[in-house]
């Protein structure tokens, strides 16, 4: 009798960390970043929290964040960062990075999928969720990035 | 509350020392400080030891080589502000009246090769490739250039100033003057910040011995008053290592909060400061800190360097030692290295780095996750 050996039939799509991405994770275009809005001081920060990091209040609400924002500041990483993992480093310079500001007021550090020359303060950008890397068991890890907003066709 | 007096200071040069153990590096700074204070190790009643990239109990491992005297020895970590945080612990121990003689030691031996980013960043930030410290400084510079018209030339001038100052510092790692065009053409690391505008990790130690003013006469011929030592941790927002999210609340930068607290405690203002050692992990940080320490208004940091205000011979020399750009950044030790230089300045012992008639000095250090310390010392 033949024994069929299968590998990795059960690889999953997992979020890069818990509490940052809305569920379900399919379809990807429907995923929103999650934030925490403080009902006491109004601050909004990325991620799901049970306390406001700004004022320490427990009166917080988890919200879905807008998918569109603007670049608040930017840089281009010209070197890869140190990579302390067994899995191969997927990153290649140059790597645009920005503080992106969303309409809720929250600012988020993000890689930007664009040409380094296109970066500018005020550039409209939109969320994209894509595979960031694979973990040790071969699962696809979903990560957020932003890219220049696609202009609508007239 | 009692007063804390600086009785002695010591240093081990900052640089790279092969296989020399950190315990020896730290020990040498302590021996120098003890000699400076005219005391023996058994006079120390408590010790605080700042370190980050060392194994547990580094303080005991270092000091027990001088004798196991059963004093409390506590390791302190506050990233690059560890030295200042450590000094504050020592200050608190003195002014509370709990101890009369306290040692603040900072010692570091950064690992060779890359710094494991997981010391500072979450795992996902590392997988996502979002762990370059320089990217924060670069984005702060980018925003400042937009908001205030600050130029990369002004940032370069600060690097040039510090490289030039470092030539006269025998305790610094890099002691070579660097021409402006070499700085401005050095490899881009994170736009617009280039390689020669940034410090390097390295090794070193610095020690400060504090005594209660009541016993100071016994120990020091040149007492310096530790007039203030503030340690604060940033509120929201902080646009620095290793955050990933912010919200513009209108809160003042934490350096300003800590500086105001230190100015008020010491009864002086920024206009009274004769010399300063401040955080220049990259040259833009120094510019930003001019403003946040209230040496000038927001946006005027570039003007200060253009006017030569912070040069040797200027109205308020900054980083006479060459700054972290020349000394390197041995994380646990650097904040105390700044205090070492200020104390030498106020005692008139800085040789070619001497600021004329220095009577009041300020040391500021800034660390990952929003740590800041501001120390004011008076003659």
User: Is B190 an 8 Å CB contact of chain A?
Assistant: yes
Three-state DSSP class for residue B121:
coil
Helix (H) or strand (E) holding A121: none
Q: B237, A107: Cβ pair inside 8 Å?
A: yes
CB of B206 within 8 A of CB of B331? no
Facing residue for B128 by CB, picked from A54, A84, A111: A111
Is pLDDT at B348 greater than 60 in this prediction? yes
Three-state DSSP class for residue B207:
strand
pLDDT single digits (tens) B6-20: 999 999 999 999 999
Cα gap B166→B283, rounded to integer Å: 14
CB of B120 within 8 A of CB of B44? no
CB of B258 within 8 A of CB of B372? yes
DSSP states of B143-204: HHHHHH---HHHHHHHHHHHHHHHTT-TT-S------HHHHHTSPEEETTEEGGGB--B-EE
Domain boundaries, chain A: 14-148
Instruction: ipTM value, please give it.
Output: 0.94
pLDDT single digits (tens) A106-133: 999 999 999 999 999 999 999 999 999 9
Chain A nearest CA to B137, separation (Å): 9
Is pLDDT at B49 greater than 80 in this prediction? yes
Cα gap B213→B201, rounded to integer Å: 36
Residue B55, Cβ neighbours under 10 Å: how many?
8
Q: Three-class SS string for chain A?
A: CCCCCCCCCCCCEEECCCCCECCCCCCHHHCCEEEEEECCCCCEEECCCCCCCCCCCCCEEEEECCCEEEEEEEEEECCCCCCCCCCCCCCCCCEEEEEEECCCCCEEEEEECCCHHHCCCCCEEEEEEEEEEECCCCCEEEEEEEEECCCCCC
User: Is B147 an 8 Å CB contact of chain A?
Assistant: no
Mean pLDDT of A79-99: 92
DSSP secondary structure letter of residue B355: P
Three-state DSSP class for residue B363:
strand
Which residue in B281, B278, B287, B320 sits closest to B155, CA to CA?
B287
Mean pLDDT of A2-28: 81
Mean pLDDT of chain B: 97
Handedness of CA B347, B352, B358, B364 (dihedral sign): negative
Question: Among A68-77, B98-107, B212-221, B282-291, where is mean pLDDT lowest?
Answer: B212-221
Helix (H) or strand (E) holding A47: none
User: Is B38 an 8 Å CB contact of chain A?
Assistant: no
Please tell me the pTM assigned to this model: 0.95
């Amino acid at each position: 009798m033949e024994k069929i050996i299968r590998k990795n039939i059960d690889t999953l799509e997992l979020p890069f960390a818990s509490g940052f991405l809305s569920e379900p994770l399919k379809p990807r275009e429907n995923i929103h970043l999650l934030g925490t809005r403080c009902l006491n001081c109004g601050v909004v920060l990325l991620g799901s929290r049970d306390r406001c990091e700004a004022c320490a209040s427990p009166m917080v609400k988890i919200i879905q964040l807008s998918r569109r924002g603007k670049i608040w500041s930017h840089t281009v990483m010209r070197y890869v960062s140190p990579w302390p993992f067994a899995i191969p480093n997927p990153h290649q310079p140059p790597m645009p990075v920005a503080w992106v500001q969303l309409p809720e007021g929250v600012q988020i550090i993000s890689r930007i999928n664009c040409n380094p020359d296109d970066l500018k303060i005020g550039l409209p950008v939109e969320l994209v969720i894509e595979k960031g890397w694979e973990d040790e068991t071969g699962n696809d890890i979903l990560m957020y990035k932003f890219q220049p907003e696609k202009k609508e066709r007239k | 509350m009692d007063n804390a007096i600086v009785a002695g200071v010591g240093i081990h040069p900052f640089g790279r020392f092969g296989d020399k153990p950190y315990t020896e590096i730290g020990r040498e700074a302590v021996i120098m400080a003890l000699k400076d204070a005219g005391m023996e190790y058994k006079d120390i009643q408590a010790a605080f030891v700042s370190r980050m990239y060392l194994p547990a109990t580094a303080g005991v491992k270092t000091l027990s080589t001088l004798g196991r005297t059963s004093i409390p020895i506590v390791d302190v970590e506050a990233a690059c502000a560890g030295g200042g945080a450590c000094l504050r612990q020592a200050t608190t121990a003195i002014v509370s009246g709990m101890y009369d003689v306290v040692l603040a030691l900072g010692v570091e031996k950064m690992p060779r090769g890359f710094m494991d980013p997981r010391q500072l960043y979450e795992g996902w930030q590392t997988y996502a490739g979002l762990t370059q410290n320089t990217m924060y400084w670069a984005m702060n510079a980018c925003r400042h250039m937009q908001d205030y018209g600050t130029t990369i030339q002004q940032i370069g001038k600060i690097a040039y100033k510090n490289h030039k100052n470092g030539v006269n510092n025998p305790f610094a790692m890099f002691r070579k003057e660097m021409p402006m065009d070499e700085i401005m053409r050095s490899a881009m690391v994170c736009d617009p910040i280039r390689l020669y505008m940034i410090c390097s990790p390295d090794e070193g130690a610095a020690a400060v011995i504090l005594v209660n003013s009541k016993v100071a006469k016994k120990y020091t011929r040149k007492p310096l008053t530790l007039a203030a030592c503030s340690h604060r941790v940033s509120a929201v927002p902080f646009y620095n290592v290793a955050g990933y999210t912010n919200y513009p609340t209108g809160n003042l930068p934490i350096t300003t909060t800590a500086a105001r607290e230190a100015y008020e405690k010491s009864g002086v203002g920024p206009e009274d400061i004769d010399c300063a050692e401040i955080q220049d992990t990259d040259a833009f940080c120094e510019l930003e800190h001019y403003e946040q320490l209230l040496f000038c208004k927001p946006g005027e940091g570039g003007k200060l360097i253009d006017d030569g205000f912070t040069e040797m011979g200027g109205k308020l020399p900054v980083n006479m030692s060459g700054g972290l750009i020349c000394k390197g950044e041995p994380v646990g030790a650097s904040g105390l290295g700044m205090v070492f230089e200020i104390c030498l300045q106020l005692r008139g012992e800085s040789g070619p780095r001497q600021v004329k008639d220095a009577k009041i000095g300020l040391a500021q250090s800034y660390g990952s996750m929003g740590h800041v310390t501001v120390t004011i010392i008076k003659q």
